[in-house]
Amino acid sequence: MATIEDFQKLDIRVGKIIEVEDFPEARKPSYKLKIDFGEEIGIKKSCAQLVAKYTKEDLNGMLVLAVVNFPPRQIGPEVSEVLTLGVPDSDGECVLIQPERDIEIGAKLY
């Protein structure tokens, strides 16, 4: 069972997607994202399987939540620096977790 101390080790922040590109080299349809987490963390890259639910235009400018303190992960030829968070819908496709209101980018989940 996880403890509150385990949860507190995760650094989950609000970020704003500022760039979305196709990622044709990925095994499953995916996008390459650039996400701005504000001055403290900066702009980070993420690879995400979102093609089934979102267009590039849908994603550009969207606020999302991401874990920013996992080690970078190699995804094919790209490096994913943060884990963008979502939950599966009834078809198993990722639905992004978004703040309910406009929240300052870089804000930390607690």
8 A C-beta contact, residue 94 and residue 53:
yes
The model's pTM is 0.95
Question: What's the pLDDT tens digit per position in 39-85?
Answer: 999 999 999 999 999 999 999 999 999 999 999 999 999 999 999 99
Task: Note down the domain range covering 70.
Answer: 4-96
In a domain, 44, yes or no: yes
**Residue 91 belongs to domain with CATH number:** 2.40.50.140
In a domain, 105, yes or no: no
How many domains in the chain?
A: 1
8 A C-beta contact, residue 78 and residue 32:
yes
Residues 6+ apart with CB under 8 A from 2: none
